[in-house]
Each structure stands twice: as C-alpha cells, then as structure tokens.
Amino acid sequence: MDFLEIFFPVSGVKTSILLPPLVALVISFFTSMGGVSGAFLLLPFQMSFLKFTSPSVSATNFVFNIVAIPSGVYRYIKEGRMAWPLTWIVSTGTLPGVFIGYYLRVHYMPDPRTFKLFVGCVLLYIGIRLLYETTGKAAAGKTKMKALEDKFKQRTEELKKQQHARIASGLPGEAVVKTISFTFSKVEYEFWGERFSFSTPAMFLLAFVVGIIGGTYGIGGGAIIAPFCVAVFHLPVYTVAGAALMGTFLTSIAGVTFYSIMPAREGIATSPDWLLGALFGAGGFLGMYLGARFQKFVPQKFIKMMLGLVILFLAIKYIVQYF
C-alpha cells in the first residue's frame, strides 16, 4: 500500500519498506546453506527491479553483508563448523583484491556491462562444475565425500526413527572442524572422522582474484569462494560455508570503507545507501541464521545442486545481457 512506500534519496529508489527485507530473507535462507550471503542475487534485483544502477549499488550490497552475515557466522561458530585456517586465508587474500575491485569499478567500469560478461563466464564454469559434482560419475573415487554422505544419510534415518526425540541436529555433536596443521604451504583439518587438505598459496591466490571480482560488484566473494572450495579443492560444504561467510563479512567492511572515503570520478555516486542496505540486511540477518541452522539437515548433494542452478541462471543472465 502507498503508506508503506518509502523514498531512498541516495539511490533514488521508491518502494515498499517491506520489500527489501522480505526479498533478502528468502534469498539468504537458501544461499547461506552453501556459504553465500546472497548479495550476488540482490545486485541484479536492485539493478533490474529497483533500477538502482550507479556504482553505489555495490557499496549498498556490502552494507547488506555487514548487517546480515553475523547471524549465520554465529551459528557456524557455535556448532564448531568454522574452519578458521580457511577463514584467515580467504580474508587476507580477498582484502587487497577488494581495493583493486573498487578502483576498477569506479574509475574504469562505471558501466558494468562488459565486466558482467567476465563475471558471467566465471560463474558459468563454477555453476556447471557444481552441477557436475552432483552426478554419479563425479562422485566415483571420492571416498571421503562419499563417506560423509553415507554418515549423513545414516544420521537422518536415526533421527526419523526417534519419533519423540527433539530434532537437535542433522549432524552429531562430534561433527566439528579440528585443525591438524596450518602452514604457509598446506592446511589440513579433520571433520567427522575424515581428513581434508588444500594448498595455502593456491587458496590465497583464489581469494585475491575473487576479491577483485567481489570488490567490483559488492558481492563479497562468497558466491565464488564457496563453490570453488567444494568443486575444485574438494572440501565438504559443511565446513566451507562458515569460512566463506566470515571472509565475506570482513571484506565487506573493507569494501564499504573504500566506497565511502576513496575519491571517485566527478558525477559518479559511490557512497552506499545505508537505509536501503540496512533493510536488506535485516531480512538477510534472519534468513542467514535460519539457513545456517537448517543446513545440517540438508544433504551436500542438494546444496550443491541448488547453488549450482542459481549460479548458472545468474551466469547466463550476465552473458546474455552483453549481447
């Protein structure tokens, strides 16, 4: 109704005050299960539906991340599913990339059309790779991931049999992340009786590149970091989601700072719309908490498929708009 409409002077958007938090709640609930804040979907929503297209839309997306992410991170920390070495590597690698991303967005790409093509190609690869990971052929030989899935199914069946038991967790209390080693060359950790490892330099380089992309569009990087960790580094999504969200949160703080205080070309708005971002963040705060809470009830295969389809849809949308 008209009395619920509000005008946001910074962005020039006029919409119902209820729309931003509701949209953010729905998006964040599903994306946070895979370690993605949902900002990468809010960006096209703001540009296409709300007609908010200036570079300050990137900064506003960062505000959403800052408000929304802490609830999801809290759940992962509380339940022992925060892979801290992965978190620090992702955060330190992404931060310098965010600065470069800001510079590219404001000084060279105020019109995002060309850069969207590049982002679309990257997300297209990730989306296809994630969907491939859900097939039987990809699963062959991945004994560790199969063991986790088998344990998950067994645990789910046990919960179903406990008719009068309170649903406490799809994963047992011992399913926590335990760091085995953390060096400049390699990180190794244990989760639910299985060991996983990845190259420290390779993860840092990935985070740096993701930081550039995330800094340009205000997505924080979780939309790319999380799928890559699952599809390329073969890490379980149960341990990736928290680290990806925490890294996105820290880099979003840096992103808002850059967009707010750094100089820009004359006539280009870069400062965030704080009120609009906060409303998106309020919905995202609840959505991420619920998503993190229910993630452990959902099989990895479903999370991969859901995330892959969403990213694939966005990738095609970005590529088509170029032509």
pLDDT on residue 71: 84
Of 244, 290, 285, the C-alpha closest to 64 is: 285
Contact 89, 250 (CB under 8 A): no
pLDDT on residue 198: 94
pLDDT on residue 148: 63
Q: What is the tens place of the pLDDT at every residue in 145-168?
A: 566 666 656 665 665 565 444 444
pTM for the structure as a whole: 0.78
Contacts 24+ apart (CB under 8 A), 99-104: 99/215, 99/254, 99/258, 100/211, 100/212, 100/215, 101/211, 101/212, 101/213, 101/214, 101/215, 101/216, 101/217, 101/255, 102/215, 102/216, 102/255, 102/258, 102/259, 102/262, 104/212, 104/215, 104/216
- Residues of the chain where predicted confidence (pLDDT) is lower than 70: 1-3, 34-35, 112, 136-174, 300
DSSP 104: I
The tokens for 217 are 């569009």
pLDDT on residue 317: 86
* Amino acid found at 282: A
Q: What is the tens place of the pLDDT at every residue in 194-229?
A: 889 999 999 999 999 988 888 887 877 777 788 788
Distance (Å, whole) CA 307 – CA 302: 8
Q: What is the tens place of the pLDDT at every residue in 11-36?
A: 889 999 999 999 999 888 887 776 67
pLDDT on residue 167: 42
pLDDT on residue 35: 66
